[in-house]
Amino acid sequence: MRRGLNNFFRCLKKDGEARLGEVKTAHGSFRTPVFMPVGTQGTVKAMPPDDLEALGTQIILCNTYHLYLRPGTEVMEKVGGLHRFMHWPLPILTDSGGYQVFSLNALREITPEGVRFVSHLDGSLHFLTPQEVIRIQETLGSDIMMPLDECIGYPSTRGYTLSSMALTTKWAKESLDARSRLDRALFGIVQGGMYGDLRKEHAKELSQYPFDGFSIGGLSVGEPKGLMWEMLEATVPYLPEDRPRYMMGVGKPEDILEGIERGVDMFDCVIPTRNARNGMLYTSQGPVIIKNARYASDDGPLDPECTCYTCRNFSRAYLRHLFMSHEILSAYLNTLHNLHFYLSLTREARHAIDEGNFVVYKKQLIEKWNKGS
Amino acid sequence: MRRGLNNFFRCLKKDGEARLGEVKTAHGSFRTPVFMPVGTQGTVKAMPPDDLEALGTQIILCNTYHLYLRPGTEVMEKVGGLHRFMHWPLPILTDSGGYQVFSLNALREITPEGVRFVSHLDGSLHFLTPQEVIRIQETLGSDIMMPLDECIGYPSTRGYTLSSMALTTKWAKESLDARSRLDRALFGIVQGGMYGDLRKEHAKELSQYPFDGFSIGGLSVGEPKGLMWEMLEATVPYLPEDRPRYMMGVGKPEDILEGIERGVDMFDCVIPTRNARNGMLYTSQGPVIIKNARYASDDGPLDPECTCYTCRNFSRAYLRHLFMSHEILSAYLNTLHNLHFYLSLTREARHAIDEGNFVVYKKQLIEKWNKGS
């Protein structure tokens, strides 16, 4: 029955629950824990792909929902897939579009066969089935695909959570059947809302199927942070050791570290890129709000400990000036820096795990951030 | 009396009126004819300075008016000048701000001592004298400064043009007196509206003063193209052979060629950068409007003959997608390409002049553009 990929994931080392691993895809390998910059519309906002690669980005995430609506699968077929389209030679993970259907659309309807929704771009009506979502991702040429799932809100009743979970399971199984490219990975998405026993139940259930990895979905949807970690802890122990675990849409730098400590291998989040464009920059001394007047004539680098292009060549005064002047270069320099921060964070986390030193690494880093800010 | 720079300009070769030359500044030399990308607010929009340099940009233009208002001279003093601020190691030419005062401000008043105006940013009241304008540019650390002048509109009466010209001359002389840094160049700005005899008169008059070069101002302000060339031709013959000539704010690719043919050495214009952001791209086959639906699934490069990063790696379909999706990367890739086009154009023009082949070069290029579009 198993049709998943051979040798897709290898755990190289464990340090507590934290894992150093390697994932092999059709576009090369990447090391975990990994942070995946988000390229919603087929571009990590403001970043030329060569810069992204030079930063050490190993894999990016793109949004099936957005690319399905624009430029559409017909164009995507004609131009030979997403890698070629956006000139990105390394792995791409695509989400299923489920999250966007549920979060961007007031008008949507769920049936056992799929979801009906109205495009946020032009009001056109669409119906997506689990099968169609796989077909779209295969057309994109995604290396790691997600099945259509329902990402429920917080709070949700136990009853709704249970029936939604059953639907997500049904769609996940249909997605496995729908897959036609056997060189591309497909993950299962664990839901279960904020009910620890349902999380456990869903993790165990999905683990019976030949998914290449497991996503932990439905977290960071408005619940208290403590509850999120509780749910993660209720999930991870019931996922197979030999597959990667991906915590969807998380999070802040400290969240990445908390997730790694609890055995998560893959992360994606718009925070570094979106905050960059809003002028919130992560540094070794804690976050910097660059529009703050105190930086107006601050000739020093954004982060004296950082080695990125932005910090090596530009002052806080200049970054503030660009931000205040609404200059495009502001988005570029800020995004470059924040991604460098996230990618360094996970690179050093891998190193710490390899050294059996992750807990100390995490503690020292968070203390430093809190002290500086 | 002459206090200008020694060996500032050298004409290396003439081909008709077209000149191959070299200008030496405090931040290195550049070859003419040269196109100067415009960095209004201390950044060539969407371009990291390293990319700008890699493109072969020899000198950029920045706007005194904008930088005076934001971040202001106080900040600029503290951060050690514009080169350091924006991480640009090569020459910078600054305009005087006169053009912006007259074009961006409905509320402004001219007196013999200077101009009073209201900031377009915050409504604050300012008064700029020729002396202050030089002081600001010296604080910026400009390599080539412009004196305060009045750029009159089209049409203007002969009477108004005459009195305005006299004021521009007065200010130009005061600017020479105000200069304190003798390693920085100062140009005179020739006005004279659309009156050929006044152009000649003003060129001859300013040529008596020790300016390091001469700008031809007040053109491309709404007059017919033929009249613009007529005015240029009425000016250039009366400018000294041993100083560079700078045609301010011009122009389209064909205008650059026309200007070179008439003996102009330096050009600046927002067209390549602004049009890039608006999706109008210059190619060897003529302009491309990238949002055009015919490019939706066009997998070919923007310009098959172009060797820039954009054309080597991305398709028209992708460039269209980025533009339609309002992605920041659109501005970056488009600007990179258009600047590459302009910089190649002037690089090849220098080569053609060196070969004594400029007229043929120009004719073939324009024919090709017209044929393709």
pLDDT digits (tens, 9 = 90+) for B151-187: 999 999 999 999 999 999 999 999 999 999 989 999 9
| Nearest-angstrom CA–CA distance, A23 and A31 | 6
Report ipTM (2 d.p.): 0.97
What is the average pLDDT across B244-272?
Answer: 98
Interface test with B, best of A60, A311, A318, A319 (most B CBs within 10 A): A318
In angstroms, the separation between the Cα of residue B333 and the nearest Cα of chain A is: 8
User: Over 50: is that where the pLDDT of B141 sits?
Assistant: yes
Chain-chain contact of A41 with B325 (C-beta, under 8 angstroms): yes
Q: ∠A146-A148-A153 over CA atoms, to 5°?
A: 105
For residue B9, the model assigns a pLDDT of 97
For residue B100, the model assigns a pLDDT of 86
| Nearest-angstrom CA–CA distance, B170 and B175 | 9
| Nearest-angstrom CA–CA distance, B284 and B59 | 24
Q: How many Cβ pairs within 8 Å bridge chains A and B?
A: 120
How sure is the predictor about A141, in pLDDT bands with cuts at 50, 70 and 90?
very high
**Amino acid found at A51:** D
* Structure confidence by residue, pLDDT tens digits, A220-233: 999 999 999 999 99
How sure is the predictor about A1, in pLDDT bands with cuts at 50, 70 and 90?
very low
For residue A168, the model assigns a pLDDT of 97
A9-269 maps to CATH 3.40.1390.20: no
Q: What is the dihedral of CA A43, A49, A55, A57, to 10 degrees?
A: 60
Active-site choice (B143, B255, B265, B268):
B268
Question: Which of B43, B299, B317 lies closest to A322 in CB terms?
Answer: B43
Contact A334, A276 (CB under 8 A): yes
For residue A106, the model assigns a pLDDT of 67
Contacts of B37 in chain A (CB under 8 A): none
B9-268: CATH, from 3.20.20.105, 3.40.50.2000, 3.40.50.620, 3.40.50.12780: 3.20.20.105
Q: Which of A98-112, A216-230, B279-293 has the lowest mean pLDDT?
A: A98-112
Contact B121, B60 (CB under 8 A): no
Q: Where are the domains of chain B?
A: 9-268, 276-372
How far lies A109's CA from each of A105, A129, B274, in Å?
10, 12, 43
- Residue A330's H or E segment, with its range, is helix A328-354
What is the average pLDDT across A175-189?
Answer: 96
* Structure confidence by residue, pLDDT tens digits, B207-225: 999 999 999 999 999 999 9
Q: Does A103 or B362 have the greater pLDDT score?
A: B362
Chain-chain contact of B75 with A321 (C-beta, under 8 angstroms): yes
Contacts of A49 in chain B (CB under 8 A): 313
User: Over 80: is that where the pLDDT of B238 sits?
Assistant: yes
As a whole-number percent, the residues of chain A with pLDDT over 90 amount to 92
How sure is the predictor about B101, in pLDDT bands with cuts at 50, 70 and 90?
confident
**Amino acid found at A8:** F
As a whole-number percent, the residues of chain B with pLDDT over 70 amount to 98
Contacts of B318 in chain A (CB under 8 A): 42, 79, 85-87
Q: Note whether B200 contacts A: Cβ–Cβ < 8 A.
A: no
